[in-house]
Amino acid sequence: MTKGLRESLTSNDGCLRRPRTIPLCRRLAAVATALALSAAACVHRNDSGAEDGGAKATESKPAPPSTGTLRAGPREVPEQGLQVIDRSDLRARLAALAADSMEGRRAGTRGGDKAAAYLASELEKLGVEPAGDASSYLQRFHLPPTVPRAERDSTQNVVGIVRGSDPRLADEYVAIGAHYDHVGIGAPVDGDSIYNGADDDASGTVSVLEVAEALTQGPRPRRSVLLVFHGGEEAGLLGSQHFTDRPPVPIEKVVAQLNVDMVGRNSPDSLSIIGAGRISSELDRIIRREAAAGGLSLDYTLDAPDHPEQLYYRSDHYNYARLGIPVAFLFAGLHPDYHLPSDEIERIDMAKVERAAELLYRVLWAVAERPERLERDRAAPPPTSQAPTTARSVPRRSRPREAPRSPVSDERRRPE
Residue 160 is part of a domain; what is its CATH number?
Answer: 3.40.630.10
Whether pTM > 0.95 for this model: the answer is no
pLDDT at residue 411 above 60? no
More confident residue, 114 or 40: 114
Whole-angstrom CA distances from 335 to 97, 263, 340, 351 are: 20, 11, 10, 18
The total number of structural domains that make up the chain: 1
Which is nearest to 126 in space by CA: 202, 225, 14, 196? 225
Give the mean pLDDT of 114-120. 98
**19 within some domain:** no
**58 within some domain:** no
Domain range for 163 is 80-369
CB 195 within 8 A of CB 415: no
Asked if the bond preceding 245 is cis, omega within 30° of 0, the reply is no
pLDDT at site 381: 75
Q: What is the pLDDT of residues 4-22, one digit of tens each?
A: 434 443 444 444 433 333 3
Q: What is the pLDDT of residues 220-278, one digit of tens each?
A: 999 999 999 999 999 999 999 999 999 999 999 999 999 999 999 999 999 999 999 99
pLDDT at site 8: 40
**8 within some domain:** no
Compute the distance between CA of residue 77 and CA of residue 359 in angstroms, rounded to an integer. Answer: 11
Side-chain half-sphere CA neighbours of 400 within 13 A: 17
Q: Is 151 exposed, middle or buried (0-12, 13-18, 19+ CB in 10 A)?
A: middle
pLDDT at residue 59 above 90? no
**287 within some domain:** yes
**141 within some domain:** yes
**344 within some domain:** yes
Compute the distance between CA of residue 224 and CA of residue 167 in angstroms, rounded to an integer. Answer: 10
**13 within some domain:** no
**33 within some domain:** no
Whole-angstrom CA distances from 160 to 7, 136, 166, 268 are: 33, 9, 18, 30
Work out whether the CA dihedral 263, 184, 231, 128 comes out positive or negative: negative
Q: What is the pLDDT of residues 62-107, one digit of tens each?
A: 433 333 334 456 899 999 999 999 999 999 999 999 999 999 999 9
DSSP letter at 252 equals G
